[in-house]
Each structure stands twice: as C-alpha cells, then as structure tokens.
Chain A
Amino acid sequence: MTTTSTETTPVIPLPARAAAALTGLGALATAASAGLSWTWTSDFPGDLTYTGSPAGLQWLALTAGLLTLVLLLAAHGTPGLHWAAPTRSHNAVLLAATGALAVSLYSVTAISAELGGLANLEPGGWILGAGGILTVLGALGLPLDRRTHVPLRILDRRLFLLVPAAPIGWFAAHAIPGDKPVAPVMTALAGALAIAAGAVLLIQLGHLANTWLRLGTVERPLPAPRQLPSWVEVLLIVAAFGLGLFAITFGIDTEYGELFTGYLLLAAPVVAALAKSGLIARLRALTVKYRPVTTGAAFAAAASFPFTQTSDQYTSVATNILIFATVALGLNIVVGLAGLLDLGYVAFLGVGAYAAALVSGSPASPIHVQFPFWAAMLTGAAVSMVFGVLIGAPTLRLRGDYLAIVTLGFGEIFRITMLNLNGTTGPKITNGSNGIPRIPDLQIFGFDLGKPHTVAGIELGRFSNYYLLMLLVTALVVLVFARVGNSRIGRAWVAIREDETAAEAMGINGFRLKLLAFALGACLAGLAGTVQAHVSYTVTPDQYTFAEALPPNSAFLLAAVILGGMGTISGPLAGATLLFLIPKKLEFLSDYQLLAFGAALIVLMRVRPEGLIPNRRQQLEFHEAAIPAQPTGEPTALTKAGA
C-alpha cells in the first residue's frame, strides 16, 4: 500500500442537497418500516406481522436507519450532533447506509425465500427494501473521501476458464448414472468447480467495484476533543460499556439463525462506520486516560450479563464463550508473545479438565476423593503446567514449522491416550471414550454452584453461578497476561519472537523463557479446564480434538487468536466470542459450516491480516503507509487526509 492522492467527490454525481435528502429519506424509510408489518404470516421466525411493535429483524432495521440519519446530520454539522461524528466523514454515513442496505436486502430475501416468493411481503417489507436501496444510492452521492485513481486489477485470465468449466462439469456429473461408483466423485468435483468459478467471478466483481468506488483508507485527522469534566468522561466510558454489553447480549440472545445473520450483517458495517466517524478513536482516548475505570467498567458490564437473562439458556452459551476466550488468551501468550506456534494447545485444557474430574469425587473416577474447589483448581493448573513442561522440554528445541508439527502430534497423543486408558487397552483411569461422567457441582465454602441463587431479586441459575466464577478466572488470566506481557519477561518473549539468535546474544536464555511461556500458557488453560469439567458435567476425549465444527479445539483457538489480533488482550476475547457464536447460531448451515468458516477466514486475512483488534505494532507492520508514523516523531506527510 503506497501513498496515493485523494479527493472528496461523490461516486454518483448528484446535487449535494439532493443526495443528502435522498439518504435521509431512505434512512427514515428504513427506520419507519420497523413500525410496520413486514409479512402477513407469523411463519417467519420472530413474527414480523404486527404494526407498531418492532420485533427481531425490525429492531435491526430501526437501529440501522437511525444511526445512518444521526451520522448524516452530524456530518452536515447539525448543531448538537458534533459529538456523533468528530471527523465529519461522509464515508461513515456510507458505511452505516451499507448496514441498512444489508439488513433490508437480507430481510426481504429471507422472508421471500422462506415463505416462497415476494408475494409474502406486506407494504412494510417493500418500504424496507426501497429504504435500504435509497439510503445507499443517496450516500453514494455524498462528498466521499476517495482516491483519485485506482487501476483496474484483472485476475489471471486462465482463471476465467473455470467459469465455462463449471456448467460443463455439472452436465458431465449429471450424465453419469447415479449407480456408477464414480458418480459421487464427479458430483463433488462439479461442486468444487462451481465454487471456484463463483469465487473468481466474485473477486473480479470486487475489483471492478473497487475501481468504480475508489474508496480509500483515508485517515481523517481527529480534532481535539472538547474539554469535559472528568466525571462526565467517566460516565461516557460507563455508558459505552453499557451499550457494548447491550449489543453483545443482543447477539448472544438471538433466538434464531436469521436474526443472528442480520445482526452480523449490521454489526460489521456499524463498527466500521463508528471507526470512520472517529467515535471509536474518541472512546479509545478516554479509556487510555482512565484505565482503572475502563477495566472496572468492562468487568462490571461482563458481570452484569447474567442479571439481564431470564433463563439459563444463553448463560450457558456465555459461560462456554468465557472458557473458550480464556483459553485463547492463554494461547496468546504462547503464540502472540513468544511466537511459538502451538497446534495442540487444547490438550492443556483437557489435562486441566481431566485432572479436575479425577479429583472431583465423580463415581466414575478411580480416585475416590473430592477436593475442595480451590484445591481442585490448583490441581488442574499444576498438572497442566507439569504437562506443559514435560511436552515443552523436548519440543522447544525445535523452531518454527517443526514445533508446530510436533505440538500437533502431542495434542493428538493426549486425546488418544485418554481414549486408551479405559481398562482394556491400558490401565483403567479415564473410562476411554465414555469419559468421566457425573462430575458433581463445585461447592465454594458451602455455596453450591449447582443450585439457583437469588441475588438482588433476580434468580441466578446454575450456569449463571459458573459464569461468574469463570469471569473471575478470566479476569485473573487477563491480569496475568497484562502484567507479564509488559515486564522484563514479556519483553524477552517478544525479543525471542522477533529474533531468537539476537535475543540469546543479549543474554536471554531462550530455551528457559520459551519453556516458561509454554508452562504459563498450559497452566492458564488448565485453570479454565477445571471449571469446564464442572460446567459440562462430563469430560470425554473427543472434546479435545485438533479440528471440528464446534469450538473449543486447537484450530479454533489458534483462529481466535489470529482473527482477533495477536499479542493483545481484547483481540482474542473478541475473536473467541465471534468464533463461538457463529457456529453455535448458524447451525442451519450444518454441513457447510466449515466451508463457510474457511471462506470467512480467507476473506478476513486478506482484508485485515493484523486481526480485528490489532496490536499497534502489528498494524504498523501490515499497513505501514496508512498510519501516521509515530506520536513523538516529526510530522511526516503520509496521507493527504482532510484535504
């Protein structure tokens, strides 16, 4: 990415006032359609038949419309709305409008596809669709920050041969009688061809759109914030986290796949729009200024999640998200800080879970003892750490790809060993594939986590109790990560990741520090494992595989770290939340889940290789020219922003 010249022009040449009016009208229509009935039958999930009471997807349309409107007014300098768009960028409006279009098109398509035809749309549905399209058309006529010239990229011409090849393959596959043994192979080949051809066409379409839109990564300068009393700033942080809790709770509580898809389709452009408008930068500046308040607000927001729930259904999801996210954060020490690619990390979660299960007093455990909760957690963490050292000591002498292969092997060895310690092929310890069932609930100083408790008039069920316990564990892991990462040890890890030979020449005992990273990572995963064993009642070997459709497994853990952002705290937490929710909520994709997941990963790594919430360093590494160099450095003219 090199420095390019930019201009502020509309994509569609419209009079400025007309464009703004059109955008506003579209946004209003989108928002207003939420109050109308979209379809005549309650067969579509969420029951969108009522007038005057929004439900499900209609809430999303309302949000998208209102947000677009607010950003539009703020970008035009409407008094009283300056706070909403400090950069006054119209690109933010376009992004929000894209969100509105995505929600409206998706809703209209989903309704007509599931109910069989556009005839099932009520006038509200038509208004919704028209509103979405009008909003984006209007927004394309706004003065947008664009690059002056983007050359058209054309894919390798040979790839276009796939496009005629796909129908030929389809006919060939159908020409073969179904009883021939090659028939399924041909069908699979034809399917693969069709997917590849579709991908080629889509990518080329993307290049065409890019040349036409010419929307660049222009960083507008953020004007200095207005001086506010500190209590207002603190309240703003609290409000932001409250809003964040609400948004995440909405995502976790989505009851059907359509709503979750709509949620994702809206969330991505909205986050981008808020980033463009400068709101996120403002918030980040505040969080840096009031770090303890931020930490407290984040923790409080997370802790109040169970109190927003009426049943335990989604608290169990949230508990599992926390377990997954905590393990991902532990893996981030190994991968993100020390740079050791561990493909068998889930085994340490398994070691912790098995250790806790064995000392839990479960009737299936050969050790007939029941440790108190603190001893069980320490046992899980300690056993896991010992395994970390045992596995690390021989393998950490390897570097790079070799280490990845060996850890992958050890991860599988753990699972197979647990399978074989069943009394037939080995000593009877783990009951093989049956696992250790009926793990009793934890008792913390007489407090039974298995029983519902009433706190402040709200009944907290079993999963809520475990959620809160797990949150404490997560907080501990975050604390350890933050403090160790920013210390002599953390610096040594990063140095080893950057250049091991140079690090050793600076007096760092590479092997010992890598072993320390491995052991600490294993210890934290083991800690999460002890809770996991009790939450899920049963531990079985197949919970700890390398890859499958549902997390946690080693592949998903690694994906959560890389997707979220290596070396950061919030990155793996966000990555893990997404990676847990997406397969959980989109179970209707069933067989295509891993395919969709892989495609999404490819797209994300292409667009944002540094992860969702990047480390500052990494961002510099991947997009050097796009970011103003250094805060203290001389002002280097990297972008011609805000011209």
Chain B
Amino acid sequence: MSTAATPLLDVTGVTMRFGGLTAVNDVSLTVGEGEIIGLIGPNGAGKTTFFNCLTGLYVPTEGQVRYRGTVLPPKPHLVTQAGIARTFQNIRLFANMTVLENVLVGRHTRTKEGIFSAILRGPGYHRAEAESRERAMELLAFTGLAGKADHLARNLPYGEQRKLEIARALASDPGLLLLDEPTAGMNPQETRAAEELVFAIRDKGISILVIEHDMRFIFNLCDRTAVLVQGQKIVEGDRETVQNDERVITAYLGAPLEGTTPAVAETVTETDQ
C-alpha cells in the first residue's frame, strides 16, 4: 500500500544510543492517514525504545520524527498535544483514580481551564467540565466501560484495564495512536474483541501503530508490518512479504538447516507468546 503525499507520521533515520549500546539503529517508517501499521520483532529488538523515541520520552541520538509535516518536540506532553497518544506495555493507569477520572486526565491537553477558572467557577468552567465529562463518557461507552465509570481503576480486571488505557489515550483526540502490546496476557476471545476495537478506532479516522507479539492479531489488522531486529528495521511490507522473508525467519527461529524449507507462515505463527 502506498503512503499519501504527506504521511501522518514520518520517521527518518532514528537512532537511539545508550552509551555503547545502540538500541535503535537508523529506523525509518511512515504511517499514512487511516493506516494500521504493525511493529514486530523478538524481545529486546528495540520496539518500545522506538516508541519512546516517537513520544518524546527519549530524545533520539540521530534522526527526525515528523508529525503532519512538523518536527515533534522532545517532550512527552507536547507530543500528546500535537496529536500522538500512546498506551504502555505494562499498564500504567492512575490506579487510585476512578475510571472516569482517568479518562478526564486524558482530556487535559484539549481543555484550558486554569487555576483561576477552577477557583472562580464561572459559566465557562462549568461548560468545559460538562463537555469533558460527556466526551469521557462517550469514550467509556465506546470501549464498553460506561457501567464502571465510578470504579477505581485498580479494581478493574486486567482486560478492562487495557481497554481503559486505550480510552484514556483516545481522550486526547489523537490523530495517531501508539499501542504497545495491547493484547499481552489476553485470552483468544479478548484478543478478538481487541481487534474489533482497533478497527473501530481506525474507522474514527485515527491511524494506529501497534507493537505485538501475537502474529495472528498483527496480520489480521495491519496494512503493513515492519520487523525490528536488534534495533534495525530488516523488512517492511504486507503479510506475504514479511512471512516469507528469510531474515525474519532467522530472527525468530534461528538459521534454517541447509536444504530445508520450513512452512513459513505456520512456524512464524507458532512463535506467539
């Protein structure tokens, strides 16, 4: 699939070094409007580090990240303001806030009410607060959590905590959503529900970049998939391209014995977590 004239996200030559260790090496990637892009790779390949470079948590040693044509500032909150939201690999909810409050925190960049407005509580404040709540409840309904708005986030079951992270990220009205292993630890039914949720998000016009280990999930969802191995992007393309690439198979399974041609698709699928 070809990218649009000006891609939504344009990553060029991002390199991240920690001292002598090169965690991400010269990775380029584009995400177009309305695309779902997958990012796979063995553990320790640098996928999350790459995410952190995109979201301003790390400042890349080299390279540039452009969102809608402008270079992203290296501060997480400015990246979110620009329109990129993310979830975390190990769930990082605000455990002692309610579900609704978690989503309201996600609205932070899209609201402006400051401290004086909060103290004076004029009509503008009440309007903005009501709008935020309405939008947050919409998102909770969208992710199927509306009935649990008053629960503490820490009391939600695992699968719903993942959904809440997505709802919270969507609250900032992003153009691009970065999902870091959204189905880790889920059973097959929950994974299928997550797939539908991702499609529904894409239908809202939000592009998605997703890290996953579940190959079936990735190949069902993604328009293109990039493979990261030891910090380098070794291949990018559609399902067939990735599944048949010798280097991908080597990265996941080791080098094949001479003369054997493994049934590629199946073996790659078997490496699911």
Using a CB–CB cutoff of 8 Å, the interface residues on chain A facing chain B are: 479-480, 483-484, 487-492, 494-495, 498-499, 501-510, 516, 520, 617-618, 620-621, 629-633
Contacts and interface: CB of A to CB of B under 8 A. Distances in A.
B57 A501 contact: yes
A487 B132 CA distance: 11
Contacts of A502: 88, 92-94
A236 B132 CA distance: 37
Given A489-B118, A492-B105, A633 B151 contact: yes
B105 A633 contact: no
Given A489-B114, A494-B96, 13 more contacts: A487-B125, A491-B97, A491-B108, A498-B97, A501-B57, A507-B77, A507-B81, A507-B108, A509-B75, A520-B115, A618-B96, A620-B152, A630-B150
B136 to A, nearest CB: 11
B151 A508 contact: no
Contact of B172 (A494, A507, A629, A631): A507
A132 B87 CA distance: 61
B144 to A, nearest CB: 16
6 contacts: A484-B115, A487-B125, A494-B94, A504-B75, A630-B150, A630-B151
B101 to A, nearest CB: 6
B109 A507 contact: yes
B105 A483 contact: no
A484 B118 contact: yes
Contacts of A620: 96, 152, 155
Interface string B135-172: 00000000000011111100100000000000011011
A490 B111 CA distance: 14
B237 interface: no
Interface of B: 55, 57, 75-77, 80-81, 85-86, 88, 92-97, 101, 104-109, 111, 113-115, 117-119, 121, 125, 128-129, 132, 147-152, 155, 168-169, 171-172
Q: Which of B108, B147, B168 has the most CB of A within 10 A?
A: B108
A516 B95 CA distance: 23
B104 A506 contact: no
Contacts of A501: 57, 76, 92
A510 B107 CA distance: 15
B97 A480 contact: no
Contacts of B106: 506-507
A203 to B, nearest CB: 31
A494 B104 CA distance: 12
A488 B57 contact: no
A633 B101 CA distance: 17
Contacts of A633: 148, 151
A505 B105 CA distance: 11
Contacts of B168: 506
A495 B152 contact: no
Contacts of B171: 506
Contacts of B94: 494-495, 498-499, 502-503
B105 A479 contact: no
Q: Which of B77, B101, B106, B168 has the most CB of A within 10 A?
A: B77
A494 B96 CA distance: 9
Nearest to A503: B105
A506 B118 contact: no
Nearest to A488: B113
A620 B85 CA distance: 30
B55 A505 contact: yes
Given A487-B118, A488-B111, A499-B92, A508 B105 contact: yes
A534 B101 CA distance: 42
A544 B14 CA distance: 52
B97 A495 contact: yes
Contacts of A621: 96
B73 to A, nearest CB: 12
Contacts of A630: 150-152, 155
A60 B41 CA distance: 74
B57 A505 contact: yes
Given A483-B121, A630-B150, A630-B151, A495 B105 contact: yes
A40 B182 CA distance: 80
Contact of B105 (A491, A509, A516): A491
B108 A483 contact: no
Nearest to B152: A620
Contacts of B172: 506-507
Contacts of A509: 75, 77
A501 B128 CA distance: 26
Given A489-B118, A505-B76, A498 B96 contact: yes
A506 B93 CA distance: 11
A508 B78 CA distance: 9
A632 B99 CA distance: 13
Contact of A506 (B105, B117, B128, B150): B105
Nearest to B114: A489
A617 B92 CA distance: 18
Contacts of B92: 499, 501-502, 505
